[in-house]
Copies of this chain bind each other. A is one copy, B any other.
């Protein structure tokens, strides 16, 4: 189902790297020609914030910029708080589409579950608003988003023209390569895998221990060509359709057989 074409598109943009991130500006550059853009993004980096919301502290909002068809707000909240504030307080009407990113760093495979960028996209999806999270496999604050921008535009136009299946948002990851090396776009499943963490344990000047999170991703299916990790490792852009129903339907009958219903 195409998005409404009889009026100007209202496009909400967010991210988790903060309102001044290069990836956010790259995303604004791409979508601005398509309608009225409102950015609501965290005032500071909120990487790893997943679907977190602020329950115990109130939120602050600051208007950073206002020009024709572009308004930018920062908030003291998480990416999900940003989407909630936008929908419920800052926008005059529900946005037609929500885009999040472009994240500095991969959100492929299980990283989707830790990602604030995808938290924002999933929150829009819960509200039945078409949404896309974009991420580039490069953590540097000055990463090169030129290739990403070309494909953000293609994918964004496709969602505007065709809509998305109900209850589905897109997790789009870009390999860190120049445009001419891209082999194409693949619609993928989320790779099965897990972060194997180690902590870097240190001692502070007061002789107290503290721990820094580090870790490596362990891919459980490195040779599966229909996964997002395979696509990225083979110079494809990876699109995974994400749903929000966490029920394991296959497990329902097994649990009933195991006499949970006592």
Query: A: which residues have CB within 8 A of B?
Result: 45, 47-56, 58-61, 78, 80-81, 84-85, 87-89, 110, 112-114, 119, 122, 126-127, 154-155, 158, 162, 164-165, 167-168, 171, 184-187, 189-190, 192, 194, 197-199, 201-202, 208-213, 239-252, 254-256, 258-262
Contact = CB atoms under 8 A, between A and B. Distances in A.
Q: List 5 tightest A-B contacts by C-beta distance, closest first.
A: A241-B251, A243-B248, A50-B51, A58-B210, A241-B248
A122 B113 contact: yes
Nearest to A113: B51
Contacts of A48: 52-56
Contacts of A56: 45, 47-48
Contacts of A213: 53-55, 59, 81, 84
Contacts of A89: 199, 201, 211
A158 B261 CA distance: 11
Given A158-B259, A242-B247, A55 B60 contact: no
Contacts of A201: 89
Contact of A114 (B47, B53, B186, B250): B53
Nearest to A105: B55
Contacts of A53: 48, 50, 114, 213
A199 B127 CA distance: 16
Contacts of A154: 262
A238 to B, nearest CB: 11
A226 to B, nearest CB: 8
A242 to B, nearest CB: 5
Contacts of A112: 246
A50 B209 CA distance: 26
B241 A252 contact: yes
